[in-house]
């Protein structure tokens, strides 16, 4: 079915949130968001897509 792997998520200076909408993984489409939280950037799937596709984040 597939999975999403993110290694060391980063965002350019001045951009605090970025969402990739309708990202296709296998036969599913999900929204993947990167968000700056303090000095870190986190990645997560939209609530309605959580659990549909595994998301693996390595920092």
Note whether 25 and 6 are within 8 A (CB). Answer: no
Least confident of 9-18, 32-41, 45-54: 45-54
Would the pLDDT of 17 be above 90? yes
Query: Residue 25 carries which DSSP code?
Result: E
Domain segments of the chain: what residues? 4-58
Q: What is the pLDDT of residue 31?
A: 95
Residue 50: its pLDDT value, please?
67
Looking at per-residue confidence, does 31 or 48 come out higher? 31
Q: What percent of the chain has a predicted confidence (pLDDT) above 90?
A: 76
């Amino acid at each position: 079915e597939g999975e999403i792997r993110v290694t060391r998520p980063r965002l350019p200076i001045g951009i605090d949130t970025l969402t990739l909408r309708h990202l296709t993984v296998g036969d599913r489409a999900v929204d993947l968001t990167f968000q700056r939280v303090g000095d870190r950037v986190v990645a997560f799937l939209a609530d309605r897509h959580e659990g549909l596709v595994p998301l693996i984040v390595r920092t």
